[in-house]
Every structure is written in C-alpha cells, then in structure tokens.
Amino acid sequence: MAMVACAIALYWYGSALYQRLTWEWYWAHNIQGFVGYGAHEDKFSPDGTRIAVAFRDQCKVLDLASGKERSRLGQYTGQGVSDFSSDGKIISRIPHHMSGRQQAYLWNASDGQMLGSLDAPENMSVEDCCPSFSPDGKRVVGACADGLVIWDSLNLKCLGQVKVAWPKDAWLAGLLSWNPATQELAVVDADGRLLKIDPHQDTAEPLFAKQEEAIKAARWSPDGTRLVAVYREDGSVAVWDAQAGTVVASIPEKDVLYADFSPDGKEVVTGRKRTDVVRTGRWAPPVWDRSTRIWDATSGDLVRNLPTTGIVTLSPDWSFRVETGPEGLRVARSDGSKSCHFPAWFDGHGSSCVFARDNSYLASVNGSGRVAIWRRHDPARSWIECLTGHKFWMSVLALTGLAWAVSGFRTKEDPAPA
C-alpha cells in the first residue's frame, strides 16, 4: 500500500516539477471556488495586477502575483462591477430603479472600503448604464441611453452631460475610445460619425470633417496621433491621421470584428470571422471562429497571419498570445515558435484573460468562477525556485519512500539463508 501511495505521489509531483522546468509556462495557482458556481462578473485592473470578481452579494479582489485575496468590497449588495481604474478604484454599474436615486458606487480595491457614490442626473435615462474610467482614472463616463454623463472621480461631482444618439442594439461601452496621450474621448454615433467629446462645453463635434463612410468602431494609437477605424458597411479597416483628418493606410480585410494598434503603434491587429472552421469537439458559438492578422500601420501590408480559432488576447509587448476556445486555453509566442495547452479542466467558455505587464504571469477566470494563474518559466531562477518549492521536496520524499518500500518488499520476499 505504501509503495502505491509513493508511486502516485511521485507521478503527481514529479510531472508538475518536470513541467515547471521544461515548459515555458507552468501552472502556479489554481483558486477553485474563488466565487461560487453560477453567473458572475469580473474586471481586471489595467496594469494586470488584480482582478475583481463579483458573485451575488459579494465582490472579492484577488492579487494575481501572489494568488491571495486582497480585499472584499464593503457594502456591496450585487450592484455589478462596471470598471477598474488605473489608480486602484472599482466602480459599479448604475442599477435601474423605478423610484429613488440612481447611483454608481466606488470602492478602494486595496482595502475594500467604499469611497462614495456618483448620482445620476434625474433627466437622464440610465437603464443598464456601465460607467468607465478615463485612462488616468480622474474622470468617469457613463454611457446611457440619452448620451454621456461625465463625473470627476476625485470629488464625485458631475461635470456635465452630452447628448449622443447611439446606434440601435449596440454595446454602448464599445463605442467609446479614450486617447491615452491627451485623455480625450471619441465616440461613434447612430450615423457612424466619429465625434469628439468636450465635457466642459457639453458638446459632441465631428472629429473628421471629411468622413464619408460610416464607422462602427475606432481605437486610438498609443501616441494619440492616429485612429484605426472599422467601417460599418463591409467591415473594412483604415488608419486615420487624427490631426489632418485623412486616411493614411487602408487595410485589405473585410468583415473585421475588432482592430487595434500594437504597443509601439507600428502595427495593427485585426480579428474576423472564419468560414473554414469545423468544430469537432465541444460546441461553441460562431464568435469563437476567429482569424487574427497583423498589418503594417503605415503601408497596410500584411505582416503575419495567425490562424486562430478562438478569442485572442495579446501580451502587453505582443510577444505572446493566449487563445480562448471551446476546448480550453492555449498560450503561444506570437511568431508561432512555441505553444502549450492549458489543462482541459480550465474550460474556455466565458473565460477572460490578462498578462502581467512584464509577461511574468498570465491569469484567467472561467465561467465557473475558478481563477487560474500561470507563471512564465525563468531559466535564470528555475533551479532556485525548484529547490525552494514544495514540489521538489515532495518528489524527493516520494522517491525515497518508494525506494524504501521496494527494498523492504524485496527483503521480505528473499528466502532466509540456510
């Protein structure tokens, strides 16, 4: 019996130790039951260090580097998690009530203390309003049925309201694009025009005077000088010079679902539906069938084709990508040189992922509320980490116990000398 137990322990810890030494990514933390099974919401902090997961009447904040619970939001009663700011604040959505004040609540993610609330204007229809922070965390914008409401996140005062006619049946938050350099906000209205929001004058003016084709989505470049736009009619893509108001590059791709700039602004990534994918495993909606491509942002030429079949998240420096699909998750180098599949138990359905800024770890939460954290293998520290980790010593103990059990068994079976 002891021999079987030692063999099982050696297989379990030995295989984990082998993966840690040889795989580029290894499983570091598996937080099963971080929230109960069922519908939940999660938001990662912009710097990739924390995640807030809300379930029913509680919301927990997890530190992703350590895998330890950081805090729980006080006085949270199921308002929903709307956004996570760059300076460590969490804001709820504005729940719709037939009577009484309609408010969004703010918390400090570090200690879970409530910071206050934002009051929605009485003349605004705020049903299903999901406020979001500006990149610097100083302002909050609520995309509501009638347009935008803008608050100061420090003193929690309303700065103004801007009327915007939104497209029908559109995800409002997806129509907003913050300029990371100037903190200016651009939105797409019902006519597909790209508008520049002036919160001080409560106006929304066309950003481009010569925009002829309707746009359905746009994203700013990191330096705030250009925008990549997806056209509404055929899903084609163009790069605009924001100051000149002219197209500087056209990308020959159709039916694009999303487009964005690389961290250095030199390339553009696009994702579109594929028609050549036949799923033979578990069922997944058509949105999983994606084809991801990288383009030159200046010439519009194709740089790389990534034949993915899932929703792709790129690391901050674009050196890695994680693909979320119906069979789980797969992480790979963006050039396709190395890849590995994560355990099958980490179902890809409903998963959201984030990389640390330095690519040291990858964290994901799946539909059941299980949080998993994977570490990137560091050859310079691998042996130190192994010698100080429990997997190494458990493997040594299991191997010693197995050797002792085998030698004892053989001694028992050998006949005594005459």
**Residue 325 included in any domain:** no
Asked whether 361 and 373 are in contact (CB, 8 A), the reply is yes
**Residue 91 included in any domain:** yes
Domain residue limits at 83:
73-207
Per-residue pLDDT in tens (0 to 9) along the chain, 418 residues: 666 666 666 555 566 656 555 567 888 888 988 888 878 889 999 999 999 999 999 999 999 999 999 999 999 999 899 999 999 999 998 876 655 678 899 999 999 999 999 988 776 666 667 899 999 999 999 888 788 899 999 999 988 889 888 888 666 666 789 999 989 999 999 999 999 988 777 788 999 988 889 999 999 999 999 999 999 999 999 999 999 999 999 999 999 988 999 999 999 999 988 777 666 666 666 667 788 999 999 999 999 988 777 788 899 999 998 888 777 788 888 877 777 777 666 666 668 899 999 999 999 898 888 898 988 876 555 555 555 555 555 666 666 765 666 666 556 555 555 5
Sheet harboring 68-72: ordered strands across?
41-44, 50-55, 58-63, 68-72
In this structure, what token pair is assigned to residue 1?
A: 């019996």
**Residue 154 included in any domain:** yes
Give which of 338, 332, 337 is closest to 310, Cα–Cα.
Answer: 332
Query: How far apart are the C-alpha atoms of 49 and 79, rounded to whole Å?
Result: 23
Residue 307's alpha-carbon distances to 156, 311, 321, 328, in angstroms, are 46, 11, 12, 17
**Residue 240 included in any domain:** no
In this structure, what token pair is assigned to residue 156?
A: 């929690």
**Residue 160 included in any domain:** yes
Q: Tell me how crowded residue 418 is: count the other CB atoms within 10 A of its CB.
A: 3
**Residue 181 included in any domain:** yes
**Residue 313 included in any domain:** no
Give which of 174, 175, 128, 183 is closest to 153, Cα–Cα.
Answer: 183
**Residue 202 included in any domain:** yes
Give which of 28, 16, 46, 11 is closest to 376, Cα–Cα.
Answer: 28
Quote the number of domains for the chain. Answer: 1
Residue type, 373: I
318: left (phi over 0), alpha (psi -120 to 50) or beta: left
Q: Return the half-sphere exposure (C-beta side, CA atoms, 13 A cut-off) of residue 102.
A: 22
pTM confidence score: 0.82
Nearest 5°: phi and psi at 90? -125, 135
